């Protein structure tokens, strides 16, 4: 549906910026809804709508301007949210309900992003999986045409660096590993590093979200949940090894596991759910390729900081 308007919440975030580019390439107009303005208002195909998903009035107003939606906004962090859980609860759950209520009122189809580690006992995983269940409820009983995409461990250029290399509030594995290796600091691994993660390049995740949106718009989404991951077993040690290979230097130090994370956890997607979208695991970026692109990006970022 070229020319249709898509409301993207959290459009200025890491995934949101890739989703915006994907939708623009499809010929869509993006209504970029965020509480901060980064996307230039005059960028062709982008309409900026400043607001907070916790504000039902702002959400309804933004939804009224769109033909469909992709909900990405939220408070992130596993152990980071345990000491102060309320922001995740208020933003992720209340904000998610505001999106679904507005979608029901305006009868607009859309896609909600969820998490692969739904079983982890931290506010981020708990709140995102709760909204996933609400999506099912709104689909069954409120007439909202909605698909859920479980985004697994996305990475790539543009992800925020946390302290001491950047102002990001959440420590994400790939930028943390890359920044430490480039700066000659040991890569810090929580636990023994045998935890299994499903790493998906952010550009692939954005493409899956866009394809899921098309399915929902066309009324052809049969899967209640699409699992956006590769299905490839990658340990934390494997990720560190790839970073060290690409950087050309690096060492590893082990730290105790953080609260809210599970020792020996296995977080793997079922990529068979993506077949309906025309996506095969073979289409998804291999980890060495994705890490090389990401290392090149952070080399430049860290160089510019000097």
Task: Convert the pLDDT of each residue in 142-195 to its tens digit.
Answer: 999 999 999 999 999 999 998 899 988 888 999 999 999 999 999 999 999 999
Q: Name the superfamily (CATH) of residues 5-305.
A: NAD(P)-binding Rossmann-like Domain (3.40.50.720)
Q: Are 8 and 69 contacting, i.e. CB atoms less than 8 angstroms apart?
A: yes
Percentage of the chain exceeding pLDDT 70? 96
Instruction: Note the pLDDT of residue 204.
Output: 98
pLDDT surpassing 60 at residue 253: yes
Determine how β-strand 110-115 pairs with β-strand 146-151: parallel
The answer to whether the CB of 148 falls within 8 A of the CB of 114 is yes
Whole-prediction pTM: 0.94
Residue-wise pLDDT for 74-110, tens only, equals: 998 777 888 899 999 999 999 999 999 999 999 999 9
Cβ proximity of 183 and 163 under 8 Å: no
Provide the pLDDT confidence category of residue 117 given band limits of 50, 70 and 90: confident
- Please name which of 60, 54, 56, 57 lies closest in space to residue 7, comparing C-alpha atoms: 60
pLDDT confidence bin for 8, thresholds 50/70/90: very high
Tokens of 157: 């250029």
pLDDT tens figures, 279-296: 999 999 999 999 999 999
């Amino acid at each position: 549906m070229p020319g249709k308007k898509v409301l993207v919440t959290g459009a200025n975030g890491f995934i949101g910026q890739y989703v915006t580019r994907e939708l623009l390439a499809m010929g869509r107009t993006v209504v970029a809804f965020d509480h901060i303005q980064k996307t230039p208002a005059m960028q062709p195909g982008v309409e900026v709508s400043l607001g907070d998903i916790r504000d039902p009035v702002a959400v309804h107003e933004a939804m009224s301007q769109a033909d469909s939606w992709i909900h990405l906004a939220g408070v992130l962090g596993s152990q980071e949210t345990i000491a102060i859980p309320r922001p995740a609860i208020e933003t992720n759950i209340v904000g998610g309900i505001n999106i679904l209520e507005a979608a029901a009122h305006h009868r607009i189809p859309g896609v909600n992003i969820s998490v692969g580690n739904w079983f982890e006992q931290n506010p981020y995983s708990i709140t995102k999986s709760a909204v996933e269940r609400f999506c099912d409820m709104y689909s069954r009983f409120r007439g909202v045409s909605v698909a859920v995409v479980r985004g697994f461990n996305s990475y790539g250029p543009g992800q925020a660096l946390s302290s001491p290399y950047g102002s990001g509030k959440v420590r994400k594995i790939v930028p943390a590993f890359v920044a430490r290796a480039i700066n000659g600091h040991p890569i810090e691994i929580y636990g023994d590093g045998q935890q299994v993660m499903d790493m998906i390049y952010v550009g692939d995740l954005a493409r899956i979200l866009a394809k899921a949106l098309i399915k929902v718009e066309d009324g052809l989404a049969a899967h209640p949940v699409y699992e956006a991951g590769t299905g490839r077993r990658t340990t934390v040690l494997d990720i560190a090894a790839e970073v060290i290979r690409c950087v050309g230097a690096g060492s590893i130090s082990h730290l105790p596991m953080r609260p809210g994370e599970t020792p020996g956890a296995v977080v793997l997607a079922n990529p068979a759910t993506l077949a309906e979208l025309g996506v095969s695991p073979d289409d998804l970026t291999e980890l060495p390729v994705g890490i090389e692109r990401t290392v090149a990006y952070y080399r430049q970022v860290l160089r510019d900081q000097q």
